[in-house]
Structures are given as C-alpha cells and as structure tokens.
Amino acid sequence: MSTLLREHAEQLYAQELEEISRQETGRRPASWKLTPQGVVTYLTGGKLKNGFEVSPKYIGNKRLMEIAVATLTTDRALLLYGLPGTAKSWVSEHLAAAISGDSTMIIQGTAGTSEEAVRYGWNYARLLAEGPTPAALVETPVMRAMKDGKIVRIEELTRIGADVQDTLITILSEKTLPVPELNQEIQAVRGFNVIATANNRDKGVNELSSALKRRFNTVILPVPDTMEEEISIVKRRVESFEKVMELPAEPPALQEIRRIVTIFRELRSGTTLDGKSKIKVPSGTLSTAEAISVVNNGLAMAAYFGDGQLKAADLAAGIIGAIIKDPVQDKVVWQEYLETVIKPRDEWKDIYRACRDLS
C-alpha cells in the first residue's frame, strides 16, 4: 500500500482508465487518452463490455457530465460552478485525469495569484546573468499544458484578481501565449483546454468580466437530487475515509447516515422530506461534503471516546456545529427545527435528546 496520504486520481484509478481505454473503439479527439463516451463512463461508472466494473466518481445527473465533456471537445473552456462541497474540484481532477491522464497541471487561485503564476515567470538569477533567454523562463502549468496539449485546472477562479483573470482571455480565444521579451509565442497544441472551478456562495470574490465569461461554458453542479443519491455519496466517501485513517470504529449503520442526510437535506431545501411543511433555512451551505465530515467526525468520536459504535450522541456535536454558523439566526432556525420536526419523529428520540442536551 502506498504511503502517500492521498494519491492523484490517475494513480488511484489507473486500472480503470487502462481498462476503459482498452475496451473502447470510438474516435478520440486529438491528444485525448479516452473517447468522450469513455470519459463519461469513467466519471459516472458502469460496466464495460468485458464485464469490468467502473466505479462511479460523480453520483448525480449524467447529463451534466455529458455537457462538461462535450464542452471540452469543442474549443470552449469549462467553468464548474456551485456551492462549496458539491464536488467541483473532484470532478475537475477526474476530468483531467481521464482526458489527459494527468491531473497535476493545477493553479490554485487566491487573492495573491499573480500574472507570473498564470502565464510565465523568470528565473531572476539567470535573467540577470544571461538576459531574457528561453532558459531563464519559468513555465507555469498553463504554459506546459499548452505545449503538451493537456488539460490545465484553475481552482477558485473567482478568487484571482480581475486583472490577472483577464490574462486568460488571449489564451482561451487565440490559444496562444505571447512572450514579448523573447519575441516568441507558445501556440497551444490540440487537446489543450482549461477547467476552472468557482464557488457561488462566497462574498468578496472577483466576478468574471463578461469577456472572460463568454469564453467559458458554465456547468452548475447542484446539491444531490435525491435522498438515495446523497446517501450513496456519503457512504462511499465515509468508507474510503475509514480505510485511509484505519479507524477502529464499526462502519456506520446506514440508518445513521440516512438521518444525517435527512436533516441536511431538509434544512437545505427548507421543506420536510414528505414535502408537507416548510422550515427555515440556516445560513450555512450544508453540502454533502459537510455531511460526510459529520459522519467521519462521529466515527472518530465513537472510536476513540465512545464504545466504537456510532451513536446519536457522537453525531450531535458535529451536526450542530455544521448547522449553526451564525450564533443568533441559525440557533433559532435549529431550535425550531429540533422542536417542530425532530421531536415528533418517534424513532428520532435519541437524536433529539442528544441535540437538546448540547444546545
């Protein structure tokens, strides 16, 4: 077993990529490792012709993945947009791994991301000694991806300052990166494209200029549609976490996961699952990712401080922590929910008591 804390998608799923590529026959776009259909299969899972089972990476609407892949076959870039915790980076990593076989061309967008990080930088020692020469140039992932015809990923595009964002316009529309110092340009090889992610809940972000926006096709990744979908996501991710962290606790009963997912879904959507009554919505996003971490957290609590079995009490603190982000508003919301929705549910007495004790 690898000693790495986390492996790249193309390493972790090397076998699946290999099998898909061997089984498929269709035409591949230039520089692509798989056909577009193959990429969709890799993302959404399925059975190959020889019976090989591909695990689903994205659980949800297959059509969204089709739009994403179809976008990358054209010369438009892809912008994955959505709430925090809706698997944007996860999808972008797997898309890059499946299409280019390499998910490491990545720029993390921050308020401090500079133009040199996006286009190219200079090795100053060499620049001073030799003047501007190709050897003194420091390539960025964007430049390398253009040269190799690969996918480059830009995480949190909207956190990058507007002036730096706009350096992408030439790259996206003319597919070229001029280096005026050397009187050269890098022209992108076929297969080059950009996947950017951005989240639509944050405040203080830099909206994309409409010129840049026009170069992107946007796919909004939604929170999971159905209860079963969400439960399946939480279960899968929690299981893989147990493996990595080698937790001694027993795997969580499906029932506990179901309850957490129910609470999160109800509060997120503002209606009870039976659709009969409305409830107030707290200020947090309550994404699936948070549900996963609540379960993980509960497992760790149960393993190290409890009796090894996941109980309501182990989860209560995590649930409250995830829901009450604003100490005044959210507390009222939560209390109302606790009293009007959780309390009347007969099988939920334990969770009601556990939460009640904590609040």
Partner 1 sequence: MSTHILGIRHHGPGSARHVKAFLEELQPDIVLVEGPPEADALLARVGDKELQPPVAILCYQQDDLQHSVFYPFAVFSPEWQAILYAKQHNKKVRFFDLPIANQLAVEKEDRMKKHQPDETDTTRQASEEEPVAAAAGVREDPISYLSRAAGYEESEKWWEQMFEHRIQGEQVFEAVQEAMQSLRDELPSREDRLERLREAHMRKMIRQAEKDLFGTVAIVCGAWHVPALLNRSQQKEDNELLRGLPKTKIECTWIPWTYNRLSYHSGYGAGIVSPGWYEHVWTHPADDGTRWMSLVARLFRKGGMDTSVAHVIEAVRLAESLAAMRQLSKAGLEELNEATLSVLCNGESIQLAVIREELIIGNKLGEVPDSIPKPPLQVDMEKEQKRLRLPPTADFKDCTLDLRNDNDLERSIFLHRLQLLEISWGVPSTVSGKGTFKEQWRLQYDPQIAIDIIEKGAWGNTVEKAASAYVVHQATRAPSLPDITRLLEQTLPAELHAAVEVLVQQLNNLAAASGDVIQLMEAVPSLVTVSRYGNVRKTDAALVNGILEGMITRICVSLPNAATGVDEAASQRFLELFAALNEAVSTLQHAGMLSQWKQVLELVSTNPGSSPVLAGYALRIMADQKWIHGDELVKNFALRMSRLNDTRLSAAWLEGFLKGSGTMLLLDEDLWTVVNGWVAGLDDRIFMEVLPLLRRTFSKFTKPERKKIGEKIKGGKAPAGVAGMQQGNSFDEDQAKRGIPVVLQLLGLSKSGNNE
Give the residue, chosen from 21, 206, 218, 309, that forms a contact with partner 1 under the rule CB under 8 A: 218
Using CB under 8 A as the binding rule, the residues of this chain from 318 to 347 that contact partner 1 are 328, 332, 335-336, 339-340
Give the residue, chosen from 43, 188, 194, 219, that forms a contact with partner 1 under the rule CB under 8 A: 219
Give the residue, chosen from 43, 59, 69, 234, that forms a contact with partner 1 under the rule CB under 8 A: 69
Q: How far apart are alpha carbons 272 and 5 in whole angstroms? A: 39
Q: Judging by beta carbons within 10 Å of its beta carbon (0-12, 13-18, 19+), is residue 28 exposed, middle or buried?
A: middle
Give the residue, chosen from 17, 36, 54, 188, that forms a contact with partner 1 under the rule CB under 8 A: 36
Give the residue, chosen from 11, 15, 55, 74, that forms a contact with partner 1 under the rule CB under 8 A: 74
3-state secondary structure of 352: helix
Does 297 contact partner 1 by CB under 8 A?
A: no
Does 63 contact partner 1 by CB under 8 A?
A: yes
Q: How far apart are alpha carbons 124 and 132 in whole angstroms? A: 10
Of 279 and 317, CB closest to partner 1: 279
Taken in order 224, 229, 234, 239, the sign of the CA dihedral is negative
Q: How far apart are alpha carbons 258 and 234 in whole angstroms? A: 9
- Residue 155: which of 119, 190, 192, 103 has the closest Cα? 103
Stretch in the footprint of partner 1 (CB under 8 A) among 70-78, 99-107, 178-186, 255-263: 70-78
Q: What 3 state SS string does 18-39 have? A: HHHHHHCCCCCCCCCCCCHHHH
Q: Which residues lie closer than 8 Å to 62 by C-beta, 6 or more apart?
A: 40, 44
Q: Which residues lie closer than 8 Å to 237 by C-beta, 6 or more apart?
A: 292
Does 213 contact partner 1 by CB under 8 A?
A: yes
Does 280 contact partner 1 by CB under 8 A?
A: yes
Of 120 and 192, CB closest to partner 1: 192
Give least dist CB 27 to partner 1, A.
Answer: 10
Of 68 and 319, CB closest to partner 1: 68
Does 40 contact partner 1 by CB under 8 A?
A: yes
Using CB under 8 A as the binding rule, the residues of this chain from 75 to 94 that contact partner 1 are 76, 79, 81
Give the residue, chosen from 248, 251, 270, 308, that forms a contact with partner 1 under the rule CB under 8 A: 270
Q: How far apart are alpha carbons 145 and 125 in whole angstroms? A: 25
Does 67 contact partner 1 by CB under 8 A?
A: yes
Does 284 contact partner 1 by CB under 8 A?
A: no
Give least dist CB 67 to partner 1, A.
Answer: 5
Give least dist CB 207 to partner 1, A.
Answer: 11
Stretch in the footprint of partner 1 (CB under 8 A) among 91-99, 180-188, 217-225, 245-253: 217-225
Of 180 and 275, CB closest to partner 1: 275
Q: What are the residue ranges of helices labelled H in the chain? A: 9-12, 14-23, 36-44, 62-73, 88-100, 115-118, 124-130, 141-148, 162-165, 168-173, 210-213, 227-245, 254-269, 288-304, 312-323, 329-337, 349-358
Compute the chain's Rg from CA coordinates. Answer: 23
- Phi, psi dihedrals of residue 102, rounded to the nearest 5°: -155, 110
Residues that bind partner 1 (CB under 8 A): 36-37, 40, 63, 66-67, 69-71, 73-74, 76, 79, 81, 210, 213-214, 217-220, 270-271, 276-280, 328, 332, 335-336, 339-340
